[in-house]
Structures are given as C-alpha cells and as structure tokens.
Amino acid sequence: MVTLTEQDIYELFQKNSLDRDRIEEDVVAKLSALGLKAATAESCTGGLISERITRVSGSSAVFDCGVCSYANFIKEKVLDVSSETLAVLGAVSAETSIQMAEGVKKLSGADIAVSTTGIAGPTGGTAEKPVGLVYVGVCTAEKAYSVRLMLGGSESQPNSREQIRRLASDAALFNILSECYAAEKAGDLP
C-alpha cells in the first residue's frame, strides 16, 4: 500500500503542475470532458470533498452523490461496510476505506468513487492509529484500493484538524483526477 505524507502530497501536486486551490476545477473539467461521474463517501473529511466539487459550476453533470458517513452504523447501513471489518479492524483502516468507496460506487452508479476515513484530531489518536492517519479508498469498475496518508506533521509542529482534513481532501481529489487519466489512457470511457 502506498503511504503519503504532507510533503509527498505537495510534491505530487508540483510534479503534475496542479494547484491545490483549483484541483476541484480540474477534476470537474476532466470528468466532464470524459463523460465520467464521481461519488464520495466521507468520514473524517465530513463532506469537504463533496463541497469542493460542488462549488464548481457544472459539477452537477459529473457528481450525483456524496455520503457523509461519520458514524459506523451509517457506514454499515448505507455503504455496506462489513460489521466484521469495523469490529476487527476499525473504522480507520484500509479495508474500511475500500468498502466505503465500493459502497458509494454501487449506491450512485458513479465511474469513480473515493472515500476518506481517519483521525483528524486533535484528540482520538493512539500509538497504533495516530492523529493524521487517514485512508483514502478508491473504486472504479476495474479496481479498488486504498492509499494511506500520514498527515500528523511533526512533534514540534503537528498539523491542525483543518490542515489534516484539507490534505486528505486534496489527496482524494488527486486520486479522482489520476483515475480519469488512467481511464482515458486505457480507453475505458462511456
């Protein structure tokens, strides 16, 4: 599984000539150009990804569904996350993020689905699952996977809740855009 830090996210944006403050515009434009739709299932980002997408004019053509599934029973009931996964691995796990993305893809019929689940802090972290640990789940017709984010900052300069949520939404939007390019390259378009 890929693990990204705050610095890694900044470098991905720079390497791909993307602006963190405009990526939602790039996402909507690319989805629209390819005739694809995206959906989101959010826990720790609390709807931020959906908000960023829908602030872009024309997003209604590419975005039908965003589920804010902060509570585990919503993850189970709405997104079909396994109760066993939640009981054994917890809400903050790669498996939960994948099942959330799969669930919202199935619910919405979207081409690309992303999810976030993690610990935005400033409380709630443990040695095993520290503040800043976030999983981004991604699901397309061809694959489902998770990306682990370690966004806690350093001991001397920990990231704030707002910063962790923003970085997680940046990573999720980047993954939607990446999957658009992968679909375009593979010719997997509607």
- Structure-token pair, residue 59: 């997003």
Contact 129, 119 (CB under 8 A): yes
Q: Where are the domains of the chain?
A: 3-185
Please give the model's pTM, rounded to 2 decimal places. 0.97
- CATH of region 3-185: 3.90.950.20
3-state SS, one letter per residue, for the chain: CCEEEHHHHHHHHHHCCCCCCCHHHHHHHHHHHHCCCEEEEECCCCCHHHHHHHCCCCHHHCEEEEEECCCHHHHHHHHCCCHHHHHHCCCCCHHHHHHHHHHHHHHHCCCEEEEEEECCCCCCCCCCCCCCEEEEEEECCCCEEEEEEECCECCCCECCHHHHHHHHHHHHHHHHHHHHHHHHHHCCCC
| Predicted local distance difference test score (pLDDT) of residue 121 | 95
One digit per residue, the tens of pLDDT, for the chain of length 190 reads 999 999 999 999 999 999 999 999 999 999 999 999 999 999 999 999 999 999 999 999 999 999 999 999 999 999 999 999 999 999 999 999 999 999 999 999 999 999 999 999 999 999 999 999 999 999 999 999 999 999 998 878 889 999 999 999 999 999 999 999 999 999 878 7
